[in-house]
Chain A
Amino acid sequence: MGRERLERYDLTGPENRAAVEAGLAGATWFRSAVPRKRMKELMRRSDAPAIRDTALWIGLMAVCAGAGIALWGSWWAVPFFLVYGVLYGSASDSRWHEAGHGTAFTTRWLDEAVYQIACFMIMRDPTASRWSHTRHHTDTLVVGRDPEINVMRPARLAKLLANFFGLVDVPLAFRAMAIHAAGRLTAEEADYVPESERPTVYRTARIWLAIYAVAVAAAIVFGTWLPLVLIGGPRIYGTFMHIVYGLTQHAGMGENVLDHRLNTRTVRMCRVNRFLYWNMNFHVEHHMFPMVPYHRLPELHEEVKHDCAPVYPSLWAAYKEIVPAVLRQMKDQDHYVKRELLPGAAPFHIPNELTDGRARPLAAAGSSAGSSAASSPAPASDPTAA
């Protein structure tokens, strides 16, 4: 059963079309009713916070890299490279994300510059990953549609654990670069990257491969690992924190539910984690209103929290739920974390067999799932979606 269920996540498989026919793709999602005037305040862009945070991010990397180079050959270099690695291999994930939305800066070229740098560091093609993330926002945790479901049912535990050190994602990234450099896309990418955007994907891959080739050549010529510890290597030895943060977003939660309050977590984190993660711990809020810059998400949280399920008080609290849920899903793929909205929270879809979180097979159910009016996502009687 596990293999059959995993196959349903394939964007090139029959579940994709079945989800479209069932009305699960491109559906209407819940949004809290925040007054327009307040939303405009929250959506307003500003360069200052992102310039400050980016200067700190790049500056810390430069300092740590400099200290690590100076101390190269001694164990004293290790803590500096550990910090450098986390800033490079983990913090780049949230910069990729925020700059990809175009919400980090007011000034477009600053946003694009940070996006391109972060994409290189996290090894995600800037064009393909932008489209992948666009789909993730349209069809969050919709089986067969969302290309960014990292924890499937059953979870591929070995892959998940290996990716704390990039051991699957990095080889896959180089494979994708090779495919792109040859002027092709992967089959899944072909599902969401428009034709007109594809030449950019190919050009980027060729440039990136040239940079990595120079780094490898420098390592060989000078007989040192240092160039690879600085370039590319942090995506292995410093990437674990982006997995720690990222798994809190959706792991173990309901699929096909069409309500981010039920398939996404908001987790309280300390200032250091929020700097590294650029406030993406307010993830329900981000999915509900992707226009709000990261530095305004705490304020947005105050506006919508009455409509949501209780916030997770810590990373520890989130993982106390995630680990048992994911382990149980290894045997029971109908299991998922059921989120209870706070009393008085605005209702939305009435759960039915399509949207109750189990994500039973659509393709196997045949046309009945797609054609039955009773099975279609049904709005509650008092939807307050904006």
Chain B
Amino acid sequence: MPQWIAACATDDVDPEDVISFEHAGNAYAVYRSPDDAFFATDGHCTHERELLCDGLVMGGVIECPKHNGRFDYTSGKALGAPVLVDVRTYPTKVEDGTVYIEVP
């Protein structure tokens, strides 16, 4: 049953940046785009088990810190080698300065 989970305060994430969030043993990455929209994906790269929160956000793209694989974090789409599998995304919403993500 999907549920909305409070992930962080909006101020916890700088514009054009990402932070990690853990819930029920799973890692998630919470992004703030340059135009102040919030997005969430799985916390690990789909290529190797590397935390995306240590990577670099460039516009709507997250680059993995280990092998420079890139994803469109708004859609989860893998943008080329060495990442070939899309990263899972999760719905987000902001209420009263808190970012919520909907997890299964």
Is there contact, CB below 8 Å, between B17 and A40?
yes
B9 at the interface (CB under 8 A from A): no
- Check B94 for interface membership: any CB of A closer than 8 A: no
Assess whether A130 is in contact with B17, with CB atoms less than 8 Å apart: no
CA distance A386 to B68 in the complex (A): 16
A79-B97 Cα distance, complex, nearest whole Å: 66
* A101, B84: Cβ atoms closer than 8 Å: no
Verify if A78 is at the interface (C-beta below 8 Å from B): no
Cβ of B81 and Cβ of A127 under 8 Å apart?
Answer: yes
Chain B: how many interface residues by the 8 Å CB criterion?
17
A89 lies within 8 A of chain B by Cβ: no
Q: Is the CB of A43 within 8 A of B84?
A: no
Instruction: Please state if A290 and B66 are interface contacts (CB–CB under 8 Å).
Output: yes
Interface 0/1 of B50-63, CB less than 8 Å to A: 00001110100001
8 closest residue pairs by CB, A with B: A43-B56, A134-B82, A102-B68, A134-B67, A101-B68, A291-B65, A291-B56, A130-B81
A250 within 8 A of B: no
Q: Please name all residues of chain B whose beta carbon is closer than 8 Å to the beta carbon of A260 when the two chains form the complex.
A: none
Min CB–CB distance B49 → chain A (angstroms): 7
Beyond A194-B84, A290-B68, A291-B55, 5 additional pairs, beta carbon < 8 A: A40-B56, A102-B68, A102-B70, A138-B66, A291-B65
CB of A289 within 8 A of CB of B65, answer: yes
CB of B48 within 8 Å of the partner chain: yes
Nearest CB on B from A53, distance (A): 19
Q: Which of A22-60 contact B (CB under 8 A)?
A: 26, 39-40, 43-45
Residues of B within 8 A of A103 (CB): 68
Q: Of B17, B54, B63, which contacts A386 at CB under 8 A?
A: B54
Interface residues of A in 287-323 (CB under 8 A from B): 289-291
Q: Which residues of A contact B55 (CB under 8 A)?
A: 291
Residue A197 lies at the interface, judged by CB distance under 8 Å to chain B: yes
The contact string, 1 if C-beta is below 8 Å from chain A, for chain B 63-80, is: 101111010000000000
Q: Is the CB of B70 within 8 A of A196?
A: no
Interface size on A, residues (CB 8 A): 23
| Residue on A nearest B63 in the bound complex, by CB | A291
> Which of these, A39, A40, A137, A197, contacts B81 with CB under 8 Å?
A197
Most chain B C-beta atoms within 10 Å of own C-beta, residue among A39, A102, A289: A102
Whether the pair B65, A137 counts as a contact (CB closer than 8 A) is no
Q: Which of B55, B65, B66, B81 has the most CB of A within 10 A?
A: B81
Tell me, yes or no, whether A131 is within 8 Å of chain B by CB.
yes
Instruction: Decide if A130 touches B82 in the complex (CB within 8 Å).
Output: yes
User: Which residues of chain A come closer than 8 Å to B47, judged between CB atoms?
Assistant: 134
Q: Give the complex CA separation of A147 and B56 in angstroms.
A: 27
Within the complex, which residue of A39, A45, A137, A386 is in contact with B67, where a contact is CB–CB below 8 Å?
A: A137
Assess the B49–A26 pair: CB atoms within 8 A.
yes
Shortest distance from the beta carbon of A294 to any chain B beta carbon, whole Å? 13
Closest to B58 in A: A45
Question: Which of chain B's residues have a CB closer than 8 A to the CB of A197?
Answer: 81, 84
User: Which B residues between 1 and 37 are near A, CB-CB below 8 angstroms?
Assistant: 17
A134 to B17, CA, bound (A): 25
Q: Which residue from chain B places its CB closest to the CB of A194 in the assembled complex?
A: B84
CB-nearest residue of chain B relative to A106? B58
Asked, given contacts A130-B82, A134-B82, A194-B84, whether A291 binds B48 with beta carbons under 8 Å apart, the answer is: no
Alpha-carbon distance A386/B81, docked complex (angstroms): 24
| Docked complex Cα distance between A359 and B31 (Å) | 41
Query: How far is it, in angstroms, between the C-alpha of A350 and the C-alpha of B82 when the chains are bound?
Result: 31
Report yes or no: A138 in contact with B84, Cβ–Cβ below 8 A: no
Closest CB in chain B relative to A37 CB, distance in Å = 8
Closest Cβ of chain B to A72, distance in Å, is 41
Please name 22 pairs of A and B residues whose Cβ atoms are closer than 8 Å in the assembled complex, sorted by A: A26-B48, A26-B49, A40-B17, A40-B56, A102-B68, A103-B68, A106-B58, A130-B82, A131-B82, A134-B47, A134-B67, A134-B82, A137-B67, A197-B81, A197-B84, A290-B66, A290-B68, A291-B56, A291-B63, A291-B65, A291-B68, A386-B54
Known: A40-B56, A138-B48, A291-B56. A196 touches B84 (CB 8 A): yes
- State A386–B54 Cα separation when bound (angstroms): 8
Contacts of B82 in A (CB 8 A): 130-131, 134
CB interface residues, A 95-144, toward B, < 8 Å: 101-103, 106, 127, 130-131, 134, 137-138
